[in-house]
């Protein structure tokens, strides 16, 4: 169940920003990277669909330029990196209609795929290809590792085998934030585990060799613990999340869940901390012009709310010479303390036992990668905390908006 209390809105900035490889500079911990995003096999078809078409440039004179118009993700390759099976058209051919591919095509002969694709296309020739994906600091490189052509009568498909036809994505010094974070840059490492993709982000220039982070067992453990319906897992360390919260200094309007009360509170100065199966979000909560110290404590496998505390500011200035004035001041302080306790009890009763889930709802996340702009939405399914890492598993939807 999604909630709108201060901790949920605060963590949304941190945990969801991890899908976009974002945040302000902080030092990477030895055990866990600041940010880890795991794209599960269920999400990869959408990722590939939104990335297509991809133009492959020729690195040698005379090599033909081609465009990848369809692809299916096959996952990690035995010799390292990962593979996809795809169809390439001549660069000047119309993209549509693009052939349809399925995961079963990963084990099919390329020549059979080429003939099948040509029968449904209008291009004079095409090639079925094996696209090999390899990442080395700090470049994601795609090359055509194998191919088989098919052509209409009187036309010949070029021989692409062995030609240095590549497409590359730099993954260092990425600008992925807007607003206060627009000048922050990040280095993103890419790893492959079976059919999942592991993305690990660091502030630029802090990590020379990210290999230990990609080999970390966290990825397998997070995949095994995610709900079956989840297609992405985002994890961030608590120091990392707090960097984000300080960077953006966000505040949120929080409805008061008490019958007959139409007012809202304002949460600000938010920070989070946690450990194994526990998480606490704390900050300032302003209500009726009074700033309270508030905290939301969550616990369990899905970080359900266990207690909300609200503490009134310490009484001061009640040292008037006049006894009646002093008693009025002290009485006002007692009333503020009482209202704080009543509000905390009401909030705990309302939210207690509900898991901490954060989603984008009506505010898609925007980011840029490889020269294209994307929008992403996230529907949370399960939150968890282990050590100094907060993670959220859920369902993401990605849409490329520019170029179309």
pLDDT tens for each residue of the chain, 404 residues long: 343 333 333 333 333 333 333 333 333 334 689 999 999 999 999 999 999 999 987 766 677 889 999 999 999 999 999 999 999 999 999 988 889 999 999 999 999 999 999 999 999 999 999 999 999 999 999 999 999 999 999 999 998 887 788 899 999 998 877 678 878 889 999 999 999 999 999 999 999 999 999 877 778 888 888 999 999 999 999 999 999 889 888 787 877 766 666 778 888 999 999 999 999 999 998 877 788 899 999 999 999 999 999 887 765 555 555 545 545 555 455 455 667 787 888 889 888 999 878 788 777 888 888 888 898 999 999 999 999 999 999 999 999 998 86
The two tokens of residue 342 are: 């009543």
Rounded Cα distance, 112 and 132, in Å: 19
Phi, psi angles (nearest 5°) of residue 262: -105, 5
Contact 356, 3 (CB under 8 A): yes
| Residue 255 and residue 281 in one domain | yes
| Residue 192 and residue 212 in one domain | yes
**Exposure class string for 366-380: b at 16+ Cβ within 10 A, else e:** ebebeeeebbbbbbb
**Exposure class string for 118-151: b at 16+ Cβ within 10 A, else e:** beebebbbbbbbbbbbbbeebebebbbbbbbbbb
Rounded Cα distance, 143 and 163, in Å: 9
Residue ranges making up the domain that contains 388? 6-42+178-245+363-402
| Residue 308 and residue 257 in one domain | yes
Query: Is residue 52, in this structure, part of any structural domain at all?
Result: no
Query: Is residue 169, in this structure, part of any structural domain at all?
Result: no
| Residue 157 and residue 73 in one domain | yes
Rounded Cα distance, 69 and 158, in Å: 17
> Could you give the 3-state DSSP secondary structure of residue 398?
strand
| Residue 239 and residue 379 in one domain | yes
**Residue where a domain terminates, one of 140, 163, 186:** 163
Rounded Cα distance, 83 and 16, in Å: 28
| Residue 372 and residue 297 in one domain | no
What does the pLDDT read at residue 160? 87
- Classify residue 351 by burial, with Cβ atoms within 10 Å: 0-12, 13-18, 19+: buried
Rounded Cα distance, 234 and 17, in Å: 8
Overall domain count for the chain: 3
What are the contacts of 291-299 at 24+ separation with CB within 8 A?
Answer: 292/340, 294/6, 294/267, 294/344, 296/5, 296/6, 296/7, 296/351, 298/7, 298/355, 298/356, 298/383
What does the pLDDT read at residue 356? 78
What does the pLDDT read at residue 326? 47
Query: Is residue 172, in this structure, part of any structural domain at all?
Result: no
């Amino acid at each position: 169940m999604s909630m709108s209390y201060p901790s949920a809105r605060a963590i949304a900035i941190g945990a969801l920003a991890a899908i976009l490889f974002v945040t302000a500079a902080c030092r990477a911990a030895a055990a866990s990277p600041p940010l880890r995003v795991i794209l599960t096999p269920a999400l990869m078809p959408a990722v590939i669909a939104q990335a297509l078409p991809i133009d492959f440039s020729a690195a040698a004179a005379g090599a033909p330029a081609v465009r990848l118009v369809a692809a299916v993700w096959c996952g990690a390759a035995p010799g390292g990196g990962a593979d996809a099976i795809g169809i390439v058209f001549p660069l000047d051919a119309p993209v549509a209609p693009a052939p349809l591919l399925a995961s079963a095509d990963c084990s099919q002969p390329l020549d059979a795929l080429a003939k099948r694709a040509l029968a449904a296309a209008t291009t004079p020739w095409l090639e079925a290809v094996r696209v090999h994906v390899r990442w080395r600091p700090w470049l994601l490189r795609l090359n055509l590792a194998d191919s088989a052509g098919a052509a209409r009568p009187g036309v010949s498909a070029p021989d692409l085998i062995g030609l240095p036809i590549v497409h590359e994505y730099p993954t260092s010094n990425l600008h992925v934030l807007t607003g206060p974070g627009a000048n922050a840059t990040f280095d993103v490492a890419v790893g492959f585990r079976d059919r999942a993709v592991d993305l690990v982000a660091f502030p630029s220039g802090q990590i020379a060799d990210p290999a230990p982070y990609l080999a970390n067992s966290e990825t397998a453990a997070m995949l095994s613990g995610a709900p079956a319906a989840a297609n992405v897992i985002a994890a961030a360390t608590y120091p990392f999340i707090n960097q984000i919260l300080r960077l953006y200094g966000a505040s949120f309007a929080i409805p008061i869940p008490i019958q007959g009360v139409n007012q809202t509170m304002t949460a600000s100065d938010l920070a989070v901390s946690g450990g194994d199966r526990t998480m606490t979000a704390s900050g300032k909560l302003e209500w009726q012009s009074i700033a309270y110290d508030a905290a939301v404590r969550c616990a369990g496998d899905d970080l359900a709310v266990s207690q909300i505390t609200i503490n009134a500011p310490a009484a001061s200035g009640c040292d008037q010479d006049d006894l009646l004035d002093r008693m009025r001041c002290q009485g006002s302080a007692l009333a503020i303390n009482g209202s704080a306790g009543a509000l905390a009890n009401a909030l705990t009763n309302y939210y207690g036992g509900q898991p901490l889930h954060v989603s984008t709802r009506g505010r898609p996340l925007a980011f840029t990668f490889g020269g294209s702009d994307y929008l992403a939405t996230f529907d949370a399914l399960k939150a968890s905390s282990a050590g100094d890492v907060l993670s959220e598993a859920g369902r993401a939807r990605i849409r490329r908006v520019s170029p179309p």
